[in-house]
Structure 1
Amino acid sequence: MTKIYTIGYGGRSSGDFVALLRRYDIALLVDVRSQPYSKFNPDFTRSALTRILRDAGIDYVFLGEALGGRPSDEDCFVDGLLNAERCEERAWYRQGIRRLKSLAAQRRSAIMCSEKDPAHCHRSYTIGVTLQKDASCAVLHIDKSGALKDQAALQAEAKPRQLDMLF
């Protein structure tokens, strides 16, 4: 079974972020931000993050065009929220998911976005929902506290209204 981890950097220093990646033996970080920059923390701009990760022995790949939380295709949104089923209908999204699964099958990988809480990020309610449908994948979210939570547990904890909107 291929394990795909997720992590958000919001409120974390780059040192704490790298320490969490090392804690879970992450070899490849896959950036799924639509825009790979941070106006609040310059260490998380694409160029700075690539350098920080390289120095830590962790590779970096950007897949934000295919898997970002703000695609340009407005039909991917329902009531203003990104919808997994709508994304799954798009060839560019399916191609991004295939690439992610291929990378994760080769080495331990984590997808990254800015939101620290996976329940409030497209890592769980879009990408996680899609990957959860594949029995050969396990999605493990590194949560706000640094602990692991699997996709099924995260979905089970979602409030009924969130389930209607997100999953």
Structure 2
Amino acid sequence: MENHGIKYIFLGESLGGFVRGGYERYMETQRFKDGFKVLVEIAGKEVVALMCKERNIRYCHRRFIVRRLESLGIN
């Protein structure tokens, strides 16, 4: 991928999928906030694609991340 100008940055340890208690609740933790800060910094400089292995978009956690990004004016 890097040969084509694409970087892969893994943020799953802080922004990853299923968490006990629900993802919205998890978004209030420092772990999420730290990972989200990194994502915002990258999105301010680069085009970002959020990846997930969830097959059904209805259950994908990315919708919560995208809403938070959009609330900051990041598309």
Shared fold (TM-score, shorter chain, > 0.5) = yes
Q: Residue 119 of structure 1 is aligned with which of 54, 58, 65?
A: 58
Look up the match of 2:34: 95
C-alpha separation in 1, matches of 2:60 and 2:42: 21
Instruction: Tell me, yes or no, if structure 1 residue 54 matches structure 2 residue 2.
Output: yes
Q: TM-score, normalising length from structure 1?
A: 0.40
Other-structure match for 1:69? 17
**Structure 2 residues not aligned, in runs of 5+:** none
Equivalent in the alignment of 1:141 = none
Greater RCO (Cα-Cα under 8 Å, separation 6 or more): 1
Indicate if the aligned counterparts of 2:43 and 2:74 stay in contact, CA closer than 8 A: no
Instruction: Check whether the contact 2:14–2:31 (CA below 8 A) recurs between aligned residues.
Output: yes
Q: SS in structure 1 opposite 2:50?
A: strand
Task: For structure 1, list consecutive stretches of 5 or more residues without a partner in the other structure.
Answer: 1-52, 139-167
8 Å CA contact 1:115–1:121 kept in 2: the answer is yes
Give the secondary-structure state (helix, strand or coil) at the position aligned to 2:49. strand
Greater fraction of residues in strand: 1
User: 2:44 matched to which residue of 1?
Assistant: 105
Instruction: Read off the aligned partner of 1:61 and give its amino acid letter.
Output: I
Q: How many percent identity over aligned positions?
A: 32
Superposed CA offset, 1:90-146 (max 9, x none): 01101111100100111111111113553331111x312322332x222xxxxxxxx
Matches within 5 A, 1:1-167: 53-71=1-19, 74=20, 77=21, 82-84=22-24, 86-115=25-54, 117-124=56-63, 126-134=64-72, 136-138=73-75
The 1-side partners of 2:58 and 2:18 are apart by 17
Please give the root-mean-square deviation of Cα atoms over the aligned residues, in Å: 1.9
- Higher-Rg member (1/2): 1
Residue pair 1:88, 1:130 contacting (<8 A) in 2 also? no
Aligned length: 75
CA distance in 2, matches of 1:128, 1:113: 13
